[in-house]
Structures are given as structure tokens and as C-alpha cells.
């Protein structure tokens, strides 16, 4: 569960610095269930969280 701990640390950091937006950049190793989990964790904490599909721009 090393990835889960790292993701949780990233969510806490983004919240601590008051991030207005967050975009995942290293999520290629996640399956659909993992992407949904990450989206949920960040979405609950960072109002401007948005997943970017390949080719999308922020």
C-alpha cells in the first residue's frame, strides 16, 4: 500500500498549501478503480481537482 500512503501524503500537502487546483500527472499505472479513488480523495480536498486525459490541457 505504498502508493496509497504516497497519494494520501500528496492530498494532505495540497490541502496544507491551499492549492486551488490539482492535476494528476503520474497516474498511468492506475486502473479505473484506482483513478476513481484518487479522484475521490483529491476531489474531497481540492475544489479545483480535475483529471486530465492524454491530450487535455489545464
pLDDT score at 1: 55
CA–CA distance from 5 to each of 1, 20, 54, 57 (Å)? 6, 22, 25, 27
pTM above 0.85, yes or no: no
Taking the chain (58 residues) in runs of 10, the rounded mean pLDDT of each run is: 73 90 76 84 84 83
Q: How far apart are CA 37 and CA 32, in angstroms?
A: 9
Amino acid at each position: 500500500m505504498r502508493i496509497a500512503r504516497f497519494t494520501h501524503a500528496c492530498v494532505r500537502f495540497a490541502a496544507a498549501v491551499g492549492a486551488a487546483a490539482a492535476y494528476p500527472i503520474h497516474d498511468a499505472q492506475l486502473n479505473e478503480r484506482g483513478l476513481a479513488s484518487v479522484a475521490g480523495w483529491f476531489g474531497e480536498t481540492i475544489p479545483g481537482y480535475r483529471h486530465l486525459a492524454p491530450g487535455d490541457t489545464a
